[in-house]
Amino acid sequence: MSGKQVTGDPIRVALLGCGVVGSSVATMLTTHADDLSARVGAPLELVGVAVRRLDKDRSDLPVDPALFTTDAADLVTKADVVIEVIGGIDPARDLILSAMKHGASVVTANKALLAEDGPTLYAAADTAGVDLYYEAAVAGAIPILRPIRESLAGDDVRRVLGIVNGTTNFVLDQMDTSGAGLQEVVEEAQALGYAEADPTADVEGFDAAAKAAILASLAFHTRVSGAQVHREGITEVTAADIQAAKDMGCVVKLLAICERSGEGVEEGISVRVHPAMIPRSHPLASVRDAYNAVFVEASAAGRLMFYGKGAGGDPTASAVLGDVVAVARHKVGGGRGPGESAYADLPVRDMGQSLTRYHISIDVADLPGVLAQVATVFAAHDVSIETVRQQVTTGSRANLIVVTHQAPDRALAATVEALAELPIVDAVTSVMRVEGE
Amino acid sequence: MSGKQVTGDPIRVALLGCGVVGSSVATMLTTHADDLSARVGAPLELVGVAVRRLDKDRSDLPVDPALFTTDAADLVTKADVVIEVIGGIDPARDLILSAMKHGASVVTANKALLAEDGPTLYAAADTAGVDLYYEAAVAGAIPILRPIRESLAGDDVRRVLGIVNGTTNFVLDQMDTSGAGLQEVVEEAQALGYAEADPTADVEGFDAAAKAAILASLAFHTRVSGAQVHREGITEVTAADIQAAKDMGCVVKLLAICERSGEGVEEGISVRVHPAMIPRSHPLASVRDAYNAVFVEASAAGRLMFYGKGAGGDPTASAVLGDVVAVARHKVGGGRGPGESAYADLPVRDMGQSLTRYHISIDVADLPGVLAQVATVFAAHDVSIETVRQQVTTGSRANLIVVTHQAPDRALAATVEALAELPIVDAVTSVMRVEGE
C-alpha cells in the first residue's frame, strides 16, 4: 500500500497473541502503517505484543523485538486500542475487561468468549464508553457482522443461513466427492492442516454454534448465548446420508441457522446448528472446501449472500484491522460505533418448537398396506408428507423415502421414533433435515 | 418488526422524493418507527416529504397527508437528517448542499450526482461536520460501500469486479438464453418494466460507469469521476458475440471493473465499464436477471463476493434506511462516520494503458502460411497469444479464434486494426475482452 504521512497524537495499539492471526496482524500493522494512519487520521503505533514465551524465534516478523512482552496484564493498561487474538475464555476475558476499564477500545476475534459471556463484555464497554468490535469472530474475512448490524439496521432480518465452519465444510465436501466415510476424511483433513489434532470444536459444531449465537444476537437484537443454540455436529453423518442427499439432488452442509418465526406465529427465534440437505441449485451448495458463505434474508432487502475465506491468518487479520481502523477513528474523532443491542429481547425457541423438514429413509416389508401404515404414523403426529418414493430393494423388502412439509421438530422426531417401532419397518436408515427453500 | 418505546429529543427526518424508492422509504419509516427508534437511541420523526405535485393520490401510503410539501428548499432547513431520492443533478445538488449548510446529515441514492460532482458534496459535508452516506447508490440492497469503506479499511483492495446494472444483465441473460438480438430483448425488457422507455443510461453504460466511479473512489482512496471511467455499453454486443462466448464456455456480462496495477508496475488504477466474456464457472457468471453482484479482491482478505437485489423500491429503501439509522445514531451519540478519503490520490490510467485480454474471431483464407501472417501481427504489437483455434468453414475459407494473454488495451486494439487490414483476412467477426481470471 502507499500512504501519506499523518501527524498528531498517535493511537497506541496493543496486540495480545502472536499465533497465526496475531503474526498477520503484527505484520500488516507494521508494513501498512502509513495507509492505516491515513485512514484513521492519526498515526497508529504498535506499543506491545503479548506472547506466552519470549524465547520463540520471531525474527521473520517485521516487528521491533523489544515490543514483545509476557506481561499482557500490564500492556492492556497502556493502550488506546487492544487487539485480542489469544482465543479461549481465560485469560482473554480478564484482559479485555481490564483493557476497557483502562479506557481502551477492544477488537477481538474470540467467538467462544463472546458466545459464552458476551453480555459481561458489552456491559463493560458501555460502562467505559469504549468500542468492542468483533467482525473477525464470524466467517473470517467476510464482512458479515457490520452489514447485519449497520447496513441492515433499517430492515427486518428474517433469516440467516450460513456455512461458517471451514473444517466441517471441507470434510462434508470430501465425503460428497469421494464417497469416503467421516473418520477417513477427518484424518485426511488433519494431515492437510484443515482440521486440528483435536477436531472436537469443529466436528461437534461448537465453533459453528458460537458463531450462530453471535449472528442471531445481532440479527434479532436479542441476547443469544452459545448454550442456547441447538447443536448437532457432523459426527453422525454417514456415507448413506450423503448418498441419500445425492439421490435427492441435494448436498449435505453443516448449517448455522437463525430464524425468526413467520407472520401469524408467536414472536420468537430459532437458533441452531445441524447438518442439513440443501438443493444443489442453492447458492450455498457450491461453497467448497474451507470457504464460508452466509445467506441473509430481510423483509425489504430480500436475499443477500456474502462469500469469502472463513479462516486463515491473513483473511482474519483483514477483518481485525478493519475493526482497528474503525475504533481508532472513533478515538480520534469522538463518538462510538453501534454497540450491542438487545432491545427486542425475543424468546429463543427450543429445538422442538423450531419448524423444519425431514428427509427420512426407511427399509420396510414390501407388503400391501405398508404405505398406508407409514402414512398413518405421519398423520398421527400432524406431519404432512410432501413426497414419497418407494423402491423394491430385494425380494420382499422395499425402501421408502419420505420428505415432509415443514413441521415442529418435536413432531418430526416423534414421527421417526414411532416409525422405528412399526413391525413392518426393518430400519430407519437415514434421517436428515432439509433446508434452503 | 417489534420495538420498545424510546424517549428523548426526536431526530427530524425529511424525505425528498416520493417515487418508487421514496414511497418505500416513507412506508418503512412509518411502520417500523419503533424499531428504528430503538436502534437509533432516539425517536425518528418524519417531518416532511417533498414532492413535485400535491394532487397525486398517495392515500395508499401510511403517511400523514399534511407532511407532503412542494417546498423542498424550506423542508431541508428543518431537519436533522435529509434523505434525497429525487435523483438527477438539479435540484438534488442544491438541496443537499443547503441541507448540509443547515446542519443536516444527508443520505442519498444519487449515483449520477456523486459521480459528477462528489467532491463538492464531500467538501460541504466536511465543512458542516455532517455525514454524507450513499450505500443505496451502488447495487441497491447489497451492502457493498460500507464493507469496502469500513470492513476492508485495514486491507489493500486490488480489484473490484461487479455486475451493477440489472437492466443490462437481464438483456444479456435473455440474449444468452434465447439467442435473440439486442433490440428485440430490450423491447421485451421495456414491456416487463426492467428497462426504461429511454434505456440510454443503462444500455450505454452510464449508470454502471457512475457506480464504478463510486466503487473505485472508495476502494482506492482516490477521487474518480464518472467522466474518468472508460465506458462501453452493450449496444455493440451481437448474437455472434454471445455465441462466440458460449463456444468458449463463457458468458457475456457488462462489468464494472476497478483495478489497481500489480506489483512492479507504476502505481495507478484502471476504472472501466465494458462487456466482457467471463468463464461460466466464475461466480459472477451465475448472476441472473436483475440481480447484482460485486467481487472484491484484497491482499489479505482474498476474494469476497456480495450478492443481492440491485434495484427496486424496497431493496433500495433497505439500504437508505440502514444509512439513516447510522447517521441518526451519530446525531444522538456524537461523532461522524468515515467520510470520503482521497489521500492515496492514485493516477487513473486511460483505457489504452489498462491491461486486459482479447478474444478475437476472424474469417480468413484457408491457405498455408495464414496462421504465420496472423501471428506476426500479434508479435509486432507485443501481444502474446494464449490459444488459437482454427476451423475450416466453407471451401477455401477458415475461421480463427485467438485468445490473447494480458496486454495493454492500446496494443490489443491496434492489433485488431492491423488484422483487419491483412489481405488474407475477410473480416474480424467478433472482438470481446475476457475477464474474471
Who among B1, B150, B318 is closest to A301 (CB)? B318
Residues of A with Cβ-Cβ distance to B302 under 8 angstroms: 141, 308-309, 314-315
Q: Are B425 and B419 in contact (CB under 8 A)?
A: yes
Q: Please, where in chain A does CATH 3.30.70.260 lie?
A: 352-434
Query: Side chain identity at B126, as an amino acid letter?
Result: D
A131 touches chain B (CB under 8 A): no
The Cα diameter of chain B in Å comes to 86
CA angle centred on B99, ends A149 and B331, rounded to 5°: 35
Q: Which pLDDT does position B262 carry in this prediction? A: 65
Q: Enumerate residues 313 to 372 of chain A having a beta carbon within 8 A of any beta carbon in chain B.
A: 314-315, 317-326, 329-330, 333-336, 338, 341, 343-344, 346
Helix (H, G, I), strand (E, B) or coil at A74: helix
Q: Is A58 exposed, middle or buried (0-12, 13-18, 19+ CB in 10 A)?
A: middle
pLDDT at residue B416 in the model:
97
- A146 touches B at CB < 8 Å: yes
Cβ contact A221–B318 (<8 Å): no
Closest in A3, A142, A341 to B39, CB measured: A341
Q: Can you list the alpha helix ranges (DSSP code H) found in A287-398?
A: 313-333, 370-380
Check the CA dihedral B88-B93-B95-B96 and report its sign.
positive
CATH architecture of B351-434: 2-Layer Sandwich (3.30)
**Chain A residues touching residue B39 (CB < 8 angstroms):** 153-154, 221, 338, 341, 343
By DSSP bridging, strand A81-84 and strand A11-16 are: parallel
pLDDT at B286: 86
Q: Which residues in chain A touch residue B323, judged by CB atoms under 8 angstroms apart? A: 154
The full length of chain B comes to 437
Distance CA B126, CA B190 (A): 41
CA-based nearest residue in chain A for residue B30 = A154
The pLDDT, as a whole number, for residue A4 is 56
- ipTM exceeds 0.90: yes
- What angle (nearest 5°) sits at the alpha carbon of residue A372, between those of residues A369 and A377? 135
Rounded Cα gap, residues A14 and A71, in angstroms = 12
Domain A352-434 = CATH 3.30.1490.20: no
Candidate CATH numbers 3.10.450.50, 3.40.50.720, 3.30.360.10, 2.40.110.10; the one for domain A145-309: 3.30.360.10
**Which chain B positions have a beta carbon within 8 Å of A307's beta carbon?**
283, 304-307
Q: Smallest Cβ distance to B155: which of A2, A318, A341? A: A318
CA–CA distance, B301 with B298 (Å, rounded to integer)? 5
CATH number of the A11-140+314-333 domain: 3.40.50.720
- As annotated, the binding site of A for NADP(+) includes 16-23
Give the closest of B2, B143, B154 to A318, CB-based. B154
Residue B330's closest chain A neighbor by CA?
A335
Question: Which residues lie closer than 8 Å to A249 by C-beta, 6 or more apart?
Answer: A279, A280, A281
Q: What is the DSSP string of A37-55?
A: HHHHTS-EEEEEEE-S-TT
Place of cell 447489497: B142
Locate CATH 3.30.70.260 in chain B. Answer: 351-434
Q: What is the pLDDT along chain B (437 residues), one digit of tens a residue?
A: 444 567 789 999 999 999 999 999 999 999 999 999 999 999 999 999 999 999 999 999 999 999 999 999 999 999 999 999 999 999 999 999 999 999 999 999 999 999 999 999 999 999 999 999 999 999 999 999 999 999 999 999 999 999 999 999 999 999 999 989 999 999 998 998 888 889 999 999 999 999 999 999 999 999 999 999 999 999 999 999 999 999 999 999 999 999 998 666 678 999 999 999 999 888 899 898 879 999 999 999 999 999 999 989 999 999 999 999 999 999 998 888 888 889 999 999 999 999 999 999 999 998 888 999 999 999 999 999 999 998 877 778 899 999 999 999 999 999 999 999 999 999 999 999 999 87
The torsion angle over the Cα atoms of residues A312, A313, A319 and A324, rounded to 10 degrees, is 160
Longest dimension (CA), chain A: 86
From the candidates A83, A151, A332, which should be mutated to test the interface with B, based on the most B CB atoms within 10 A?
A151
- Measured CA to CA, the distance from residue A45 to residue B437 in angstroms comes to 38
DSSP A120-183: HHHHHHHHHT--EE-GGGSSTTS--HHIIIIITTTS-EEEEEEE--HHHHHHHHHHHHH---HH
Contacts of A34 in chain B (CB under 8 A): none
B151: nearest CA in chain A?
A322
Strand partners, A256: A162, A273
Taking an 8 Å cut-off on Cβ atoms, the answer to whether A143 and B135 are in contact is no
Task: Specify which residues B87 forms β-bridges with.
Answer: none
Contact B146 A142 (CB under 8 A): no
In angstroms, rounded to a whole number, what is the distance separating the alpha carbons of residues B81 and A390?
A: 62
The interface residues of chain B toward chain A in range 76-115, judged by CB-CB distance below 8 A, are none
CB B381, CB B408: distance < 8 Å: no
Cβ within 8 Å, pair B153-A321 = yes
Residues 281-320 of B with CB under 8 A from A: 283, 298-309, 314-315, 317-320
Position A333 scores a pLDDT of 86
**How many Cβ atoms sit within 10 Å of the Cβ of residue A216?**
30
Q: A341 contacts in B (CB within 8 Å)?
A: 38-39
Measured between beta carbons, the chain A residues lying within 8 angstroms of B36 are 154
Residue intervals of chain A classified under CATH 3.40.50.720 are: 11-140+314-333
Tell me which residues of B are annotated as active site. Answer: 211
**B201: alpha, beta or left? (left if phi > 0; alpha if psi -120 to 50):** alpha
pLDDT at B289: 82
Shortest Cα–Cα distance, B274 to chain A (Å): 25
B151 annotated as a binding-site residue: no
Low-confidence ranges of chain A (pLDDT < 50): 1-3
For residues A286 and A288, what is the distance between their CA atoms, to the nearest angstrom?
Answer: 6
- Region of B328 (left: φ > 0; alpha: ψ -120 to 50; beta: rest) is alpha
Find the CB nearest B344 among A2, A141, A330.
A2
Nearest-Cα distance to chain A for B432, in Å, is 28
**Burial category of A388 from C-beta neighbours within 10 Å (exposed 0-12, middle 13-18, buried 19 and up):** middle
**CA of A380, closest CA in chain B: separation in Å?**
35
Q: Specify which residues A157 forms β-bridges with.
A: A298
Contacts of B315 in chain A (CB under 8 A): 300-302
Q: Which residues of A are annotated as a binding site for NADPH?
A: 111
- The pLDDT assigned to B264 comes to 61
Residue of B nearest to A304 (CA): B308
Q: Do A306 and B301 make contact, defined as CB atoms within 8 angstroms?
A: no
Q: What is the pLDDT of residue B385?
A: 96
Question: Which tens digit of pLDDT belongs to each residue from A7-21?
Answer: 789 999 999 999 999
* pLDDT recorded at residue B70: 97
Of A24, A298, A338, the CB nearest to B318: A298
Cβ–Cβ gap B322/A150 under 8 Å: yes
Confidence (pLDDT) at B53: 93
pLDDT above 70 coverage of chain A, percent = 98
Residue extent(s) of CATH 3.30.360.10 domains in chain B: 145-309
Q: Testing the interface with A: which of B85, B126, B151, B291 to mutate, by most A Cβ within 10 A?
A: B151
Task: Compare CB distances from B306 to A135, A150, A306 and report the shortest one's residue.
Answer: A306
Angle (nearest 5°) at CA B394 between B388 and B396? 80
Inter-chain touch A301–B283, beta carbons under 8 Å: no
Report the residue from B146, B314, B343 with minimal CB separation from A4. Answer: B343
Q: Is A254 on the interface with B (CB under 8 A)?
A: no
User: Hey, are the CB atoms on B314 and A326 less than 8 Å from each other?
Assistant: no
- Residue A399's contacts (CB-CB under 8 Å, 6 or more residues apart) are A361, A362, A363, A364, A390, A391, A392, A393, A429
Q: Locate B409 and state its grid cell.
A: 488495451
CA distance B28 to chain A (A): 8
Give B300's contacts in chain A (Cβ within 8 Å).
24, 28, 141, 314-315, 317-318, 321
- Cβ of B280 under 8 Å from any chain A Cβ? no
